[in-house]
Structure 1
Amino acid sequence: MAKSPSFACQSCGAVYNRWRGKCEACGGWNTVAEEAASHPMVGPSSMRPSRAKGRVFPLEGLSGETKDAPRIRTGNGEFDRVAGGGLVPGSVILLGGDPGIGKSTLLIQVSAALARSGHRVAYISGEEAVAQVRLRAERLGLASAPVELAAETNVEDIVATLGSGAPPRLAVIDSIQTMWTETVESAPGTVSQVRGSAQALIRFAKQHGTSIILVGHVTKDGQIAGPRVVEHMVDCVASFEGDAGHHFRILRASKNRFGPTDEIGVFEMTDRGLAEVPNPSELFLAGRDLASPGTAVFAGMEGTRPLLVEIQALVAPSPLGTPRRAVVGWDPARLSMVLAVLEAHGGVRLGQHDVYLNVAGGLRIQEPAADLAAAAALVSSLTGTPLPTDGAYFGEIGLSGAVRPVTQIGARIKEAQKLGFARAIGPPPPGEAAPPAALAHVADLVARIASGGGGKR
């Protein structure tokens, strides 16, 4: 009996039984295409007769001896931080990022550092020729590193080559969208090919203990292209972020089975490649205008790392009937909420003003603890009052105007003090006496800035 054709969205992987002009899952137009069914896998498992009953396997309790996953340090401290302390044998990392952001540069540096420590490392490129990869290595001064290169896209050939001899400690596949497997009858880059190729490579990693890094393309909205199931199959999903106008690059982990999520590594793009930034707070605050109103220092947390960044705001009278609201590096919906709270509970009239908010350095902030710093910068710009230069702000603002406590206050204060900030201006610690710089309500913040004290009583 012939199988009915299958149609899959090439953006999100949603499957339909007939063609559709618009994908109902992701809303994309003309992204649904017909895909052929996969061939059955040929091998010992397919030759065995099917069993009517499953086999019984032993069950274990929650108590028992546990060991931390072994780690292999690559020699790149920022990369190891995001990975959770190093590469875990048999783990698979999916790395996404915009074109030209520096993914290949980062991975060739990581591969060279690990190869120079005596491990076998293979770099498989499906987009560039071997000569192009060599030219990049020469520009970075890494041509002498014993990295094994190849330009290949057939997954079966790649698995056979990596399995010959001692399995490599690290294998880089650049990129997964260019790979194809003979078990799927569709073009490279389709949902079925990406899923089938990733499954074959993950199976090899688990069987041979090889750490594999899969490079993934991204869509227009910054999401990794291809089926979402690939992100569930891998052990770690990381994104390489940055702006062409800034020389900073952020490696951020959104999923990690062997380490903390939302951990970041900071790099600086130089003429010799990506340089690690061990103290990103000092770098993000470099060149700050201390006497200018509308700037506030935010003491944030990215994963386990405390980070200080400058939030800049500009509030100006608007000649338009609908004032502009522009934000870079922060959630626009969060800005709208802070503006509404300032107007409703702080007495700050911003309805006839254009509002611009920017996170300096190209970093994107995701935690709500930046509410207080953004509010302080907005009020400072509106009143023309500079904030105190020795104060760092953090705190979440509720819809009632209350400043709510945030996590890891101690780490934020310690990082601020290390960089010379004498006072941490935020919510009072729960169950403790409020320090002089503590704020309980957004109206207190407005009153202090309007009186010229910024964060002082």
Structure 2
Amino acid sequence: MARSSEQFTCQNCGEIYRKWQGHCDACGEWNSILQEAAASAVPSGLTLGKGHEIVFTALDADRTEHKRSHSGIGELDRVLGGGFVPGSSILIGGDPGIGKSTLLLQAVAKMALAGEACTYISGEEATQQIAMRARRLGLADAPVQLASANSLRDIITSVEKAKIPKLLVIDSIQTVFADNLPSAPGTVAQVRASAQELIRLARKTGLSVILVGHVTKDGQIAGPRVLEHMVDTVLYFEGDRGHQFRILRAVKNRFGATDEIGVFEMTDHGLQEVANPSSLFISDPGKAISGASVFAGMEGTRPLLVEIQGLVAPTPQATPRRAVVGWDSNRLAMILAVLDARCGLSFAGQEVYLNVAGGLRVQEPAADLAVVAALVSSISDVPVPESSLFFGEIGLSGEIRAVGQTDARLKEAAKLGFKCAVIPAGSKIKDSPMKIIEVGHLREIVSLFTETRPVSQAV
């Protein structure tokens, strides 16, 4: 019996089904399964003698150092690990209007002005629109090879026949289609095939290719998940529409550190680099504010100071609200339970609001101590000690555990004028000009704000 030439593929995750259904069992998306032509049947077995022998080499066989190409944007080079590696493929995603095209246009223009051949191919905008943006950014004189195309065959042919560029930007991969596939652009099969051919072109010619990807409503890059496995680097461009700051974050990098970030500010003249991002995410370090503490965190290799704001307010509701912006809500629930069980602070009749200032999202558990300081300061209405910062991880028994890279955190804080640091007991630190307060249990943090009053009278 001949196999069916049709298959049904989820456009969100790439799962394949034998028949149509309204709900994808793999990713949970509704109405995302479309009918597509199936790929040619794979032979059931391989006969001997038809393959080519693979040449094996040792790990130290190739010791040539590949020179990276610098984009002229320091924050972008930092996230990439030092610049563009020849033959590498980079995938960048972000919400619509966040500034992906602006950032990449600035990068290719600066590289072109430095004498590097760069090509920018857009499938979403006409060349006149891109030229208008370049004039607004003051980059109209950059010798960038600009084109508007959607056909994968035309793109590869044009790049191979012209001078091979150092950097090729495809904006976006969801608009590119291969004419040998019957499915529409943006479908799983088209995105996978187009990305695979562009990555093969990059490795064959030694150019660096950047693929711009659309994102879903959940913030994930649209298309098959295998796309993120195929490329060498995955970047996410994040930001809050209410703030002018943008964060470029690396979640995968085969040639550099992961979880590295670059901070930009959106202005009338495009994206500007922020040399000292810690000064943007905190208020006056010498100003004592109730319910606000400063956390010394690490984003990749960069120490970053952010302000954590907490508000505890009484409510007549039977189920108090817990709202979190920029942090893990499950971790907040755990900390509230530890404060109740180990320190006697009851939040049963209190609404709790937690916010990370500046639109930044904090993920490391070292922020636990700063969160506790903000919450206890708010519930006791006692300001956090002036020019002080907090970092440390909290266990379920109320103990405060040490975290890594303590010296880098303290050095960044001292540079910004902080005088005191509350850190976990037993932290390994070198000489620091700051006053160091080591704490081993949450009860010691509570005593900083309740002074001589018993804990039961502070709530």
Instruction: Please report the TM-score for the alignment, with normalisation by the length of structure 1.
Output: 0.93
CA distance in 1, matches of 2:108, 2:374: 43
What's 1:318 paired with? 315
Q: Write out per-residue CA displacement over residues 359-395 of structure 1, whole angstroms, 9 at most, x where no aligned residue.
A: 1111111111111101110000000010112211111
Amino acid at match of 2:341: A
In the alignment, residue 338 of structure 1 is paired with which amino acid? I
Between 284-293 and 125-134, the greater mean CA deviation after superposition: 284-293
Contact 2:285 2:417 in 1 (8 A): no
Unpaired stretches in structure 2, ≥5 consecutive residues:
454-459
Tell me by how many angstroms 1:56 deviates.
3.4
Matched, 1:12 2:13: yes
1:295 pairs, out of 266, 275, 292, with 292
Question: Is the deviation greater in 401-410 or in 2-11?
Answer: 2-11
Confirm or deny: 8 A CA contact 2:93 2:215 kept in the other structure. yes
The gaps in structure 1 that reach 5 residues or longer are: 41-48
The 2-side partners of 1:181 and 1:333 are apart by 44
Q: Within 5 A, what are the aligned runs for 1:366-405? A: 366-405=363-402
Matched residue of 2:109: which SS? helix
* Aligned with residue 174 of structure 2, among 174, 177, 184: 177
CA distance in 2, matches of 1:367, 1:397: 12
Equivalent in the alignment of 1:450: 450
Equivalence for 2:457: none
Residue 127 of structure 2 corresponds to: 130
Specify the alignment match of 1:95 in structure 2.
92
User: What is the number of residues matched between the two proteins?
Assistant: 445
- Range moving further from structure 2, 357-366 or 282-291: 282-291
1:28 aligns with 2:25: no
The 1:67/1:332 distance shift into structure 2, 3 A limit, reads farther
Q: Do the aligned partners of 1:69 and 1:258 also contact (CA within 8 Å) in 2?
A: no
Is the contact made by 2:94 and 2:237 (CA closer than 8 Å) also made in structure 1?
Answer: yes
Q: Counterpart in 2 of 1:244?
A: 241
For the pair 1:333 / 2:325, whether they are aligned, the reply is no
Give the partner amino acid of 2:27.
C
Would you say 1:419 and 2:416 are equivalent positions? yes
Post-superposition shift, 1:119?
A: 0.8
Per-residue deviation, 1:288: 6.6
1:267-287 residue CA offsets vs partner (Å, 9 max, x unmatched): 001111100001100122245
> What does 1:44-443 correspond to in 2, within 5 Å?
52=49, 54-62=51-59, 66-286=63-283, 290-430=287-427, 436-443=436-443
2:232 and 2:252 in contact (8 A); partners too: yes
Question: In structure 2, what is the Cα distance between the partners aligned to 1:445 and 1:287?
Answer: 22
Shift of 1:17: 1.9
User: Secondary structure at the residue paired with 1:194?
Assistant: helix
CA contact (8 A) 1:69 1:88 kept: yes
Offset at 1:249?
0.2
CA-to-partner distance for each residue in 1:148-180, whole Å, 9 max, x for gaps?
111100011001111113211001100111110
AA of the residue aligned to 1:80:
D
Does the residue aligned with 2:379 lie in a helix, a strand or coil? helix
Question: Aligned equivalents of 1:284 and 1:342: distance in 2?
Answer: 27
Q: What secondary structure, in the 3-state scheme, does the structure 1 residue paired with 2:324 have? A: strand
Percent identity between the two aligned chains: 57
Please tell me whether the aligned partners of residues 39 and 184 of structure 1 are also in contact (alpha carbons under 8 angstroms): no
- How far residue 68 of structure 1 moved from its aligned partner, in angstroms, is 4.7
Q: Distance in 1 between matches of 2:152 and 2:286?
A: 53
In 2 relative to 1, CA 452–67 (structure 1 residues): closer, same or farther, beyond 3 Å? Answer: farther
Identify the range of structure 1 (224-233 vs 384-393) with the bigger mean alpha-carbon deviation.
384-393
RMSD of the TM alignment (CA)?
2.1
Tell whether the 8 Å contact from 1:4 to 1:17 is kept in structure 2 after alignment.
no
Q: Displacement of 1:58 after TM fit?
A: 4.1
Distance across 2 between alignment mates of 1:67 and 1:417: 41
- What's the offset of the Cα at 1:436? 5.0
Asked if structure 2 preserves the Cα contact closer than 8 Å seen for 1:385 and 1:452, the reply is no
Secondary structure of the residue aligned to 1:426 is strand
1-structure distance, mates of 2:428, 2:289: 36
Q: CA deviation at 1:333?
A: 1.1
Question: 1:371 and 1:264 mapped to 2: Cα distance?
Answer: 21
> Matches of 2:52 and 2:418 in 1, distance apart?
63
